[in-house]
Amino acid sequence: MRPVAIFDSGIGGLTVMHEAMERLPDLPVIFYADQAHVPYGNKTPDMIRRYMHQMMADLAPYHVQALLLACNTATSAAAEDLRATADIPIIGMEPAVKPAVLQEAPGQKILVSATDLTLRLDKLNRLIDDLGAGERICRVSFQKLVQFAEQGDFDSPAVYRYLEDQLSPFDMREVGALVLGCTHFIYYKPVFKALLPPSVDVLDGNEGTVKRLQSLLTYDPVGEGGHTSSHPIFLVSGKPANEQQTMFFHRCLDRLKNC
């Protein structure tokens, strides 16, 4: 079977790869982390689109059958641009706003967290408007969690202080759900569960995204340049990951067993 590429600006996409490998253990995966340019949340859309086109060129020798953008910011800034020229399916991320709206009581607020750029771009706002949920939605940036995650800092006192500060404007008695609108944020589910009341659901879009990927997979024989192993290939900004980078990726995957 031809491989699937899973892309992120950094290690956030490993949370989606973890979900994919749980559901599809034999799926050959190429994980591409653009750590030369992380974080994306403080970049311009034009810059991100340039990074995306370089990533597509880097992946060409691998003959992937689909590309999953495991990055909400890249999806918002560049997915439509990629789909206009790509000859493979491009699957993007979508924050789990709709499930939150459907499952929470009408009077409850929903916190939607994301990076600074995702919160500014139209894609998220259109999703909220289409659901008619504007009055229920409160937006919050956890931009600094991306930097914490890339440093391998998942539960230090500094992480707790940062999240307590970001959440302090909100009365949690009025909140029914926290939507994690960046794949990096998923590493911090244990921290959110420690900080938030048990009544607040913590939701992400990984399961729905992987189900969408699964529906598009083909099981054709591997073509020239295909990758047949179920062990993932790790690329860092187009180059094979070195031993230190690979060990860090596996450490992150181990972390996800408890998230």
What CATH code is carried by the domain that includes residue 172? 3.40.50.1860
pLDDT band at 62 (very low <50, low <70, confident <90, very high): very high
Final residue of a domain: which of 204, 223, 239?
Answer: 204
Regarding whether 229 and 186 lie in a shared domain, the answer is no
Q: Is 228 annotated as a binding residue?
A: no
Are the beta carbons of 115 and 182 closer than 8 angstroms? yes
206-247 residue pLDDT tens = 999 999 999 998 754 344 444 445 689 999 999 999 999 999
**Rounded to two decimals, what is the model's pTM?**
0.92
**pLDDT reading at 63 higher than 90:** yes
Tokens 């094979």 label which residue?
240
Q: What are phi and psi of 17, to 5 degrees?
A: -60, -40
Say if residue 112 is in the same domain as residue 169: yes
Report pLDDT for 133.
Answer: 87
Query: Does residue 73 have a known ligand-binding role?
Result: yes
User: For 71-105, how does the pLDDT look when each residue is reduced to its tens digit (9 = 90+)?
Assistant: 999 999 999 999 999 999 999 999 999 999 998 88
Could you list the active site residues? 71, 182
The least confident of 42-56, 127-141, 221-235 is 221-235
Q: Is 205 annotated as a binding residue?
A: no
Q: What is the CA radius of gyration of the chain?
A: 18
* Encoded amino acid at 25, one letter: P
| CA nearest to 91, candidates 74, 67, 71 | 67
Residue 40 marked ligand-binding: yes
246 assigned binding-site residue = no
Q: What are the phi and psi torsion angles at 112 (to 5°)? A: -110, 115
Mean pLDDT within 191-209: 96
Count each helix (H run) and each strand (E run) in the chain, helices first. Answer: 11, 10
Distance of CA 101 to CAs 16, 129, 130, 204, Å?
22, 12, 12, 13
Domain count, the chain: 2
Q: Answer whether residue 152 shows pLDDT above 80.
A: yes
Instruction: State the residue range of the domain holding 67.
Output: 4-93+207-257
